[in-house]
Amino acid sequence: MYAYRTLRVEIPWRLVEERPDVLDLVTRMRLAAEEYVRRLLKEVTGQEESGLTAEELDRLLTPDRRELAVKIIEEVFPKYDLKKYFVNQGKVFWRDVVFHRAVPLDAQLRIENERDVGRAVFVDLRSEVLKVRRLNETFVVRLRRNDIAWIRERLEEGAKLKLAFLGVERRRGREPTYGKLYIALVFARETAPVEPKAVVAVDVNRLDHGIMVGLLVDGKIVRRMRLLDEGAVRELRRLHEEISRLDERAAREADPARKRRLEDRARHLASKRFRKMRDVVIRIAGEIIKLAREHQAVIVLDTMEDESYRELKEGDGSGVRKHFLDGLGQLRRRLQTLAEWYGLPYLEERLYSTICPRCGAKMEGLSNRRMHCPSCGFSDHRDNVPLIWAKKRYWELLQKQPAFSATILLLTS
Ligand SMILES: [Zn+2]
């Protein structure tokens, strides 16, 4: 089985300004990919807006659709003035284009003195640069020290650079605009699934309350920890309040120049909030994966039902909760990607916090987040209840087959 991880290398604005042809090409690639996907999915599903999940796409894009896909690519790509190389790559990777809304490029990684074979993306670890070809002129990005360290870690784990994408961030708004450019490097590694000897149960109800993690060995809870970065949560709340204030002021502002300044400031803080959230998620996921690797554990994530998730997300006027919930979505994707990367089984199961693990009755909440069962008298802290459920289901969880996972979470690094 293959597992994938992606490194996203941002292209500095200065370079983009010097080379408008790059932004132009990447935007055309994106638009071509979007039109191709729209047309292909309409032909396959008969619907205009499909909103399909990655798993559903994976099932739909069977090999017999290839001919249709190739025909659409041949019609659509030249309309956006994409050269032969991109059309050919699109045809070879016709499924991947659907998942990523981008055209995969072939890539080479030079570690020592290997010969440069002229691929579209050339990553040279020795001179610490990344070159993108197949443009009017070659485009060179200097690799940051963190990027190089990340690549070396993947190489030590036996991974290889498979392919690359040129991506452009799409900004939401009345008229979609295109912003930051990046190069995504996709690494692949063959993994052998680990035979689990323990369970790591993860309760993800609220990112701002902390993530409860329990380690279970031989059917017993041997460790519990709450992963919470209070400083980061405070900072996220503060950023959120400031962004809301700026948005309100911008909405009231009549002077166009001042309005734009307020909006720019809000956008700047929003990307800061995004990075902060990502850092929190990376740290928490890192600790969970470390624990699971040390004990060869299956990772069991308590999933909220989609309905209650939606209710929570929509029911909050201030919106701050929405961002913590988005953070949970990121955490879930990251845990799944990393679990696959290390061959750890990953499950999503309901581990209830309001249903009595002793008798199955609905429990009531007392003060201090304690839960009490009116039917059998069981009582415990709300955070412990999901771990007790994991303990109750320990042997079953250990033997359960991991959920279906396609190789489609590529862009979640
Ligand atoms: Zn009970």
DSSP-assigned states of every residue in 226-270: EE--HHHHHHHHHHHHHHHHHHHHHHH---HHHHHHHHHHHHHHH
Clarify whether residues 385 and 406 are in a common domain: yes
Clarify whether residues 220 and 161 are in a common domain: no
- The pLDDT of residue 413 is 34
> Which two structure tokens, joined as six digits, stand for 391?
């303990």
Task: State percent of the chain over pLDDT 70.
Answer: 91
pLDDT in tens, 286-318: 999 999 999 999 999 987 655 556 666 665 545
In angstroms, what is the span from residue 86 Cα to ligand 1's centroid? 62
- Residue that wins the pLDDT comparison between 173 and 338: 338
Residue 63 lies in a domain: yes
Clarify whether residues 206 and 133 are in a common domain: no
CA-wise closest residue to 52 among 109, 44, 403, 391: 44
pLDDT in tens, 38-48: 999 999 988 87
Clarify whether residues 321 and 359 are in a common domain: yes
Using a 10 angstrom Cβ sphere, with 0-12 exposed, 13-18 middle and 19 or more buried, the burial of residue 167 is buried
Contacts of 278 (CB under 8 A, 6+ apart): 330
- The pLDDT of residue 312 is 62
- The pLDDT of residue 315 is 59
- The pLDDT of residue 412 is 36
Clarify whether residues 32 and 180 are in a common domain: yes
pLDDT in tens, 243-276: 999 999 999 999 999 999 999 999 899 889 888 9
In contact, 406 and 58? CB cutoff 8 Å:
yes
Owning domain of residue 164: 2-190
Clarify whether residues 311 and 402 are in a common domain: yes
Clarify whether residues 116 and 83 are in a common domain: yes
Residue 403 lies in a domain: yes
pLDDT in tens, 94-148: 998 998 888 999 999 999 999 999 999 999 999 999 999 988 888 999 999 999 9
In angstroms, what is the span from residue 12 Cα to ligand 1's centroid? 58
Clarify whether residues 29 and 147 are in a common domain: yes
In angstroms, what is the span from residue 92 Cα to ligand 1's centroid? 57
Structural domain tally of the chain? 2
Which residues are near ligand 1, the ion (C-beta closer than 5 Å)? 356, 358-359, 361, 373, 375-376, 378
Residue 7 lies in a domain: yes
- The pLDDT of residue 324 is 78
In angstroms, what is the span from residue 358 Cα to ligand 1's centroid? 5
In angstroms, what is the span from residue 355 Cα to ligand 1's centroid? 8
In angstroms, what is the span from residue 295 Cα to ligand 1's centroid? 31
Residue 239 lies in a domain: no
Give mean pLDDT, residues 206-226: 90
Clarify whether residues 115 and 207 are in a common domain: no
Clarify whether residues 106 and 224 are in a common domain: no
Clarify whether residues 161 and 224 are in a common domain: no
Query: Of all helices (H) and strands (E), which one includes residue 154?
Result: helix 145-156
- On average, the pLDDT of the chain sits at 88
Residue 285 lies in a domain: no
Clarify whether residues 134 and 203 are in a common domain: no
| Boundary of a domain, candidates 128, 162, 190 | 190
